[in-house]
């Protein structure tokens, strides 16, 4: 975890621990699964759909506190953010790279 | 607040000073909606680092500019060895 200026409030950290641990695959994105509001978020949704894995999405555009909290929680400045098994996996580029490595394209 | 925004040169300078790349290609991909860049970088500093860590290093280099950048896509983050073209198996006749 990065020791950034503000620091993440303990309540926010506890909430995020719970959210990312609540499902095997959790995607924090701009918009929703059915209505992504950004090309990068859309790309990751498409990849997860093509893999046929169940996943949950949360819309960071609908919750500014969540959006800011996650940036610190994962030390990652942008969205989408993909979590697998409670652990930060990466953003769009890393997800695409992982997908290509397994030859699913 | 500076109204100038972030330029391609700013992005190149930030990555160069943090990562001393042996190769760096920054492409402005903004289609009118603001600063947007694609980055391909080759650096010895990526040696022994996983992809997530490599991307974090690039993000860290760009952190001072991140608020003004609309989108960054890191297309490649390679070590110099990985960036070498793979030798052709048929090239075994070359001396040594």
Question: Where are the strands (E) in B1-96, listed by range?
Answer: 23-28, 36-42, 71-78
Least confident window among B25-34, B74-83, B87-96: B87-96
> In this structure, are residues B21 and B12 in contact, taking their beta carbons and an 8 Å threshold?
no
CA A94 to chain centre: 12
Contact B59 A97 (CB under 8 A): no
Interface of B with A in 66-85 (CB under 8 A): 66, 71-75
pTM of the entire predicted model:
0.84
Asked whether residue A105 carries a pLDDT value surpassing 70, the answer given is: no
What is the rounded CA–CA span in Å between residue B68 and residue A13? 27
Query: How high is the pLDDT of residue B67?
Result: 86
What is the rounded CA–CA span in Å between residue B47 and residue A2? 21
Of B22 and B68, more confident: B22
Question: Where are the strands (E) in B43-96, listed by range?
Answer: 71-78
What is the rounded CA–CA span in Å between residue B12 and residue B21? 10
Listed residue (B45, B44, B7) closest to B26, CA to CA: B7
What is the rounded CA–CA span in Å between residue B37 and residue B28? 5
B96 confidence band (pLDDT: 50, 70, 90): low
pLDDT, mean of residues A32-60 = 96
Q: How far is B5 from chain A (nearest CA, A)?
A: 18
Mean model confidence pLDDT for chain B: 88
What is the rounded CA–CA span in Å between residue A5 and residue B53? 21
Contact B55 A77 (CB under 8 A): no
């Amino acid at each position: 975890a990065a020791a950034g200026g503000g620091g993440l409030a303990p309540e926010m950290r506890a909430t995020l621990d719970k959210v990312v641990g609540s499902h095997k695959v959790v995607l924090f994105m701009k918009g929703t699964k059915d209505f992504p509001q950004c090309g990068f978020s859309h790309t990751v949704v498409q990849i997860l759909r093509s893999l046929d894995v169940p996943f949950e999405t949360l819309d960071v555009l609908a919750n500014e506190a969540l959006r800011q909290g996650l940036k610190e929680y994962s030390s990652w400045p942008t969205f989408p953010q993909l979590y697998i098994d409670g652990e930060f996996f990466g953003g769009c580029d890393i997800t695409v790279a992982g997908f290509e490595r397994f030859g699913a394209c | 607040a500076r109204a100038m925004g972030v330029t391609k040169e700013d992005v190149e300078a930030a990555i160069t000073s943090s990562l001393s790349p042996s190769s760096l290609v920054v492409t402005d991909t903004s289609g009118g909606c603001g600063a947007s860049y694609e980055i391909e970088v080759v650096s010895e500093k990526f040696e022994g680092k996983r992809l997530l860590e490599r991307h974090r290093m690039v993000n860290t280099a760009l952190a001072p500019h991140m608020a003004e950048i609309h989108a960054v896509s890191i297309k490649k983050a390679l070590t110099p060895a990985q960036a070498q073209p793979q030798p052709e198996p048929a090239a075994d006749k070359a001396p040594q």
